Amino acid sequence: MNEIRRTEQDLPAKRRSAFSQLIHNFNFVFGTIILLILILISVFAPALATHDVNTANPTQTFVPPGLGRLMGTDNFGRDIWSRFVYGGRISLLVGLVAMIIGMFFGSLLGIIAGFYGSWIDSVLTWITEVLMAFPGMLLALSVMAILGPGITNVMVAVGVGSIPSFMRMARSSVLKTRELDYIDAARTIGCTDFQILFRHILPNILRPLIVLATLGIGGAILEGASLSYLGLGAQPMTPEWGSMLSAGRAFLNNAWWVSVFPGIGIFLAILSINMIGEGLGEILDPMTR
């Protein structure tokens, strides 16, 4: 009788766990550190702020950065450091919420399109292709034109703008996955479409979506800041990096610090998130592994 022998392979030992790979990935680690600092700053904004964000101080306008005023003051004598730490909350939140909106609706549409195919797929693909034809910023501007200005609307606008890319990614992943044997198996044992979609397909297509979302947060923060820079996002009195940058541009000749610090905030946020995204991509995405 032939025995089926299990050949010992020490594959698991050769391939390190995903976590172990992550903490050895420079991009991921460095990005995470910067982002963590930004998040901590935002979370502890009330403790870190040295002044009220909106109290004008007519006797202390354009104070350069120094000991009492870490980042100086603006044209109304408001403390930029305090506005910076509060501003981070909004900018980061815009990125996160926008991506959640984009990922949720984009993936949902993509899964449905990819799984059901036929005319549903055609219609949804047409729609996303039309949306893809617009640059993201233009799409976001159009949505803002309909919804009106405001920070919540910025989140929606940027989120809606990112739906097409998630939809495409999800759809193509589903197309690959749905032909696999275990899906046939699931169907054979009588799983409903819902079960197949969300218990069998979704977990297997999540990785590329997560990478896309991480990279997208950076873009979303930038888009949110751009909309605020244009005066469509955060309304006056709300500290937000994009609008702070915009407000300071009139004084660049005289007081660089009014614009430069919020600019650095945007820069660091996007840099860190993109580095994390790159890192995740290198490890999670099978194509780049």
Non-local CB neighbours of 190 within 8 Å, separated by 6+ positions = none
Please give the size of the binding site for another protein, defined by CB under 8 A: 21
State yes or no: residue 46 binds another protein (CB under 8 A): no
27-35, 69-77, 137-145, 172-180 -> range binding another protein (CB under 8 A): 69-77
Query: Do residues 89 and 41 make contact, with C-beta atoms less than 8 angstroms apart?
Result: no
113-121, 172-180, 210-218, 235-243 -> range binding another protein (CB under 8 A): 235-243
Per CB under 8 A, the list member of 77, 116, 131, 264 interacting with another protein is 77
What tokens were used for 108?
């949902």
70-78, 112-120, 123-131, 279-287 -> range binding another protein (CB under 8 A): 70-78
Q: What are phi and psi of 23, to 5 degrees?
A: -75, -5
State yes or no: residue 145 binds another protein (CB under 8 A): no
CB neighbours of residue 172 within 10 Å: 15
State yes or no: residue 250 binds another protein (CB under 8 A): yes
Q: Single out the residue of 202, 165, 153, 201 nearest to residue 180, CA to CA.
A: 201
Using CB under 8 A as the binding rule, the residues of this chain from 149 to 188 that contact another protein are: 149-150
What whole-number distance in Å separates Cα of residue 90 and Cα of residue 96? Answer: 10
Is 239 or 281 the residue whose CB approaches another protein more closely? 239
State yes or no: residue 117 binds another protein (CB under 8 A): no
Helix (H, G, I), strand (E, B) or coil at 282: helix
Is 118 or 253 the residue whose CB approaches another protein more closely? 253
Per CB under 8 A, the list member of 23, 33, 36, 56 interacting with another protein is 56
Closest approach of Cβ 156 to another protein, in Å? 17
Closest approach of Cβ 75 to another protein, in Å? 7
Q: Single out the residue of 270, 277, 274 nearest to residue 207, CA to CA.
A: 277
Query: Do residues 254 and 62 make contact, with C-beta atoms less than 8 angstroms apart?
Result: yes
Is 75 or 195 the residue whose CB approaches another protein more closely? 75
Query: Do residues 268 and 34 make contact, with C-beta atoms less than 8 angstroms apart?
Result: yes
Q: Single out the residue of 96, 147, 102, 152 nearest to residue 128, CA to CA.
A: 102
Using CB under 8 A as the binding rule, the residues of this chain from 5 to 34 that contact another protein are: none
Per CB under 8 A, the list member of 36, 123, 130, 252 interacting with another protein is 252
114-122, 159-167, 234-242, 258-266 -> range binding another protein (CB under 8 A): 234-242
Q: Single out the residue of 147, 123, 124, 143 nearest to residue 135, CA to CA.
A: 143
For every residue of 31-48, DSSP letters joined together read HHHHHHHHHHHHHTHHHH
For every residue of 94-121, DSSP letters joined together read HHHHHHHHHHHHHHHHHHHHHHH-HHHH
Is 263 or 281 the residue whose CB approaches another protein more closely? 263
State yes or no: residue 286 binds another protein (CB under 8 A): no
Closest approach of Cβ 93 to another protein, in Å? 19
Closest approach of Cβ 236 to another protein, in Å? 4
Chain residues that interact with another protein, rule: CB under 8 A? 54-56, 58, 61, 75-78, 149-150, 231, 235-237, 249-254
